[in-house]
Amino acid sequence: MYIWIGIDVEKQLLDVKEKAIDVDKALAFKNSCFTLPMHISLKMSFPIRISEKEEIIKTISDYYATIKPFEIEINKIEKYEHIVWIRMKENEYLNKISFDLNDILLKKYKISLHEYDLDYQFHTTLFMDDDSDKVNRAFAEIQSVVLPKTISANTFLIGISETGNLGTFSIYRSIMK
């Protein structure tokens, strides 16, 4: 079993999502990034023992309970390797939350850091595919969409998946501030 943790930004980016879904369908991406609400991941998804699921989810939920709502500045839509994403500006509070969660999970459950957790780039994924031509075309279609300058971090998510594969996660718990 796998767990994923993030911030729900779905309602704040609906215009972008509608355009991205149209592009996603037109280009027939292998795996849609819209099986979950639009979000900012706080850590790479990670495997757990099923026997620890509820305890780990409670630990994450308890940590989320300590977070006050805050603003996140949006940088821009960019292409990074085989991904098109909305990149967030550097944010000390996001870094602290990510660090704290990684630290808690490592110390309490021995959940190690993924290489991407070491220098996490906060973002909202729009498209991801091994076909670079599709990714380039999607980027060309979406890059002119007007983004809000800031979004609010006020709903925190925990998702689960049996396999950890893209498109198999579902929201298990949502914590609104």
Report DSSP letters for 104-138, one per residue: HHHHHH--PPPGGGGG---EEEEEE-S-HHHHHHH
Tokens coding 139: 């980027």
* pLDDT computed for residue 83 by the predictor: 94
Tokens coding 137: 């075309």
Enumerate residue ranges in the chain where pLDDT < 50: none
Strand, coil or helix: 14: helix
Separation in Å, CA 38 to CA 100, 135, 136: 23, 18, 21
Report DSSP letters for 45-97, one per residue: -EE--GGGHHHHHHHHHHHHTTPPPEEEEEEEEEEETTEEEEEEPP-HHHHHH
* pLDDT computed for residue 31 by the predictor: 84
Task: Return the closest-CA partner of residue 134 out of 28, 20, 19, 35.
Answer: 28
Contact 2, 167 (CB under 8 A): no
* pLDDT computed for residue 68 by the predictor: 96
Residue type, 47: P
